[in-house]
């Protein structure tokens, strides 16, 4: 029983880490696009 709970928790923790990394990746992509867009206007 304890083993099942630990496996479920580790799976959820891994999913949340992937979600956070995905959000960070999207933020970096948006910042890079914004910088290149701003560079063209100047």
pLDDT in tens, 15-38: 999 999 999 999 999 999 988 887
Is this prediction's pTM over 0.85? no
Three-state DSSP class for residue 12: helix
Separation between Cα atoms, residue 18 and residue 15, nearest integer Å: 5
The CA-based dihedral angle spanning residues 7, 8, 13, 18, taken in that order and rounded to the nearest 10 degrees: 100
Q: Which residue has the higher pLDDT, 27 or 8?
A: 27
């Amino acid at each position: 029983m304890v083993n099942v709970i630990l496996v479920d928790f580790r799976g959820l923790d891994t999913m949340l880490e992937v979600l956070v990394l995905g959000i960070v990746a999207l933020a970096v992509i948006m910042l890079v696009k914004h910088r290149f867009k701003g560079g063209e206007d100047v």
